[in-house]
Amino acid sequence: METAAIQTHGLTRRFGALTAVDDVTLSVAPGQFFGFLGPNGAGKSTTIKMLTGLLEPSAGTIEILGQPFSAGALELKRQIGVVPEGMALMGRLTAPEYLRFVGRMYGLDKATTNQRTDELLEFMHLADESRKLVTDFSHGMQKKLALAAAVIHGPKVLFLDEPFEGVDAIAAGMLKSMLQGMINRGATIFLTTHVLEIVERLCSHVAIISQGRLVANGSLEALRAGVQSTLPGAEQEQRLTLEEIFLSIVGAGGVQESAQELSWLA
């Protein structure tokens, strides 16, 4: 049996009385482009923080590439790249300075770091801004830089928390092709995003979390088939979009009614 790239067992995180992530068990195979979806506050970012060592789980275990993962698993951290929620940028450095810093922190030698820095800046169309401080970058430029920093050491597993948020359509297309290229070369990508169209186009497997619990997990086709089987008669024949699958699983509970209640809005 092939070793999973990412494996969790009973992953749980509590904040006082609130259980943000509740007994999540999932497995991501090597080379998979895995979409992790959920409504706001469902526990996506908390899960990704635990998977990357930014947050201690209250219970449960994590394995990355078949090895137990914890904050102290330094060798394993060399194998993963992360674009976290806060992007982990350093505002008082320029983009080349930041990438070189990250490269050295991941143990790359000077020549490799410099070469990859130049290549990444060119690829991300940031080379023109080599004198500008990161703090003066637009949000989209910061996202691109964060993604460049996440891949500079050539990780085998990449965790992306909302990587397309604030990125323009041109850059998003470029990033998608880059990520697809990584998948083709055998990397595993764990992605959270609210843009379901991106997940539908890129991801082969999807998990949905709601109120901290995993409510769906499998290939996109399996999820589609599962939801369609619950629909009445003729509706089973139509091909459901991911949005429809998502709303069906998570539930659009009272969305329309709530909007109508705000009668003072135009």
CA dist., res. 8 & res. 11, Å (int): 6
Nearest to 231 by CA among 240, 218, 219, 222: 240
Please, what is the minimum distance in Å from the beta carbon of residue 19 to another protein?
A: 16
Radius of gyration of the chain (CA): 20
* CB distance 95 to 51 below 8 Å: no
The angle that helices 95-105 and 139-151 make with each other, rounded to 10 degrees, is 30
Residue from 87, 141, 148, 245 in contact with another protein (CB under 8 A): 87
- 56-75 binders of another protein (CB under 8 A): 56, 71-72, 74-75
CA 69 to chain CA centroid, Å, is 18
Tell me how far apart the 2 most distant CA atoms of the chain are, in Å.
Answer: 63
- 103-122 binders of another protein (CB under 8 A): 104-107, 109-110, 114, 117-118, 121
Closest CB to another protein among residues 156, 205: 156
106 HSE (CA, 13 A, CB side): 24
In the DSSP assignment, the letter for residue 203 is -
Residue from 38, 43, 57, 96 in contact with another protein (CB under 8 A): 96
Residue from 59, 68, 132, 168 in contact with another protein (CB under 8 A): 132
Residue 165 makes contact with another protein by CB under 8 A: no
Residue from 24, 42, 51, 54 in contact with another protein (CB under 8 A): 54
Contacting residues toward another protein, per CB under 8 A: 52-56, 71-72, 74-75, 77-78, 80, 82, 84, 86-94, 96-97, 100-102, 104-107, 109-110, 114, 117-118, 121, 127-128, 130-133, 135-136, 149, 264-266
